[in-house]
Amino acid sequence: MAHSPGLLAVVRSEWIKFRSVRSTVIGTLIMLILTIGIGLLIGLAVKGHLASMNPVERASLDPIQVATGGILFAQFAVGVIGALVITAEFSSTSIRTTLAAVPNRLQLITAKGIVLSSVLFVVGEIACFIAYFDGALIFHGTIAALPPLTQGRILQAVVLGGVYLTLMGLFGFGLGLILRQSAGSISTYTSLLLILPILVFLLPSSWQNTITRYEPSVLGQAMRSTTGVLRGGTPVFSTWASVAILVAYCVVVMGAGVVLMQRRDA
């Protein structure tokens, strides 16, 4: 039986791969730019409409959701990054070389997951905090002024924004393990975020209210909510229930990916 190197050595190797592959580096930069840049544009747009909002709209406005609104776009970037971490090796057949060097497949998946989640968490948190401070500057002196980080659930909401991006990256990684193809994994991930909500919208309203709150993007908004209610009255789970459900999604998809990785040939 071939000897497998230690986990730390495999993590170092996967870190070198991650920062050496152009697609993952560019994807990480795009995630950073989308979270900050789109959040900035959304904030400026909302600020321009504050005066014309009615009392109900003003009362339902959650400035944290606005400031971190770029996450709704960045979630696509992290899914692509997560998928490419594994599918790129299958596409180039370099996975055979990797498995020859690291025959313990669970160890390899663990190392890839550690590198992926670490990068996405650090970059995601940096992006979310910058987005928060940008929002604080934009809404300073207005009725939508952002509370300080020490007040209420503000810090929690900002931190969980980065956690959401990390979990969605791992979800994309799990899809990559299952499907092994970049196009198929990215298409499936995108469909779950874009097509599924459209299909749910076609269902009876009573079904919509039940299913919508299980959608990943809605769970992400619930994680960042400081009011417990989303704009438009969309019913959502509590903050930590939303985290638990999203973690469960990742565990199921990653678990299926690990089982298939162990059973199938490279």
Please give the pLDDT value at position 108. Answer: 96
Distance CA 124, CA 120 (A): 5
Q: Is residue 162 part of a domain?
A: yes
Number of domains comprising the chain: 1
Distance CA 81, CA 75 (A): 10
Domain around 57: 7-263
**By percentage, how much of the chain surpasses pLDDT 90?**
73
Q: Which residue has the tokens 């928060």?
A: 132
Please give the pLDDT value at position 229. Answer: 66
The dihedral sign for the CA sequence 133, 139, 143, 144: negative
List of the chain residues with pLDDT < 70 = 1-4, 228-234, 266
Please give the pLDDT value at position 62. Answer: 87
Q: What is the pLDDT of residues 10-49, one digit of tens each?
A: 999 999 999 998 999 999 999 999 999 999 999 999 998 8
Q: Is residue 1 part of a domain?
A: no
Q: Is residue 2 part of a domain?
A: no
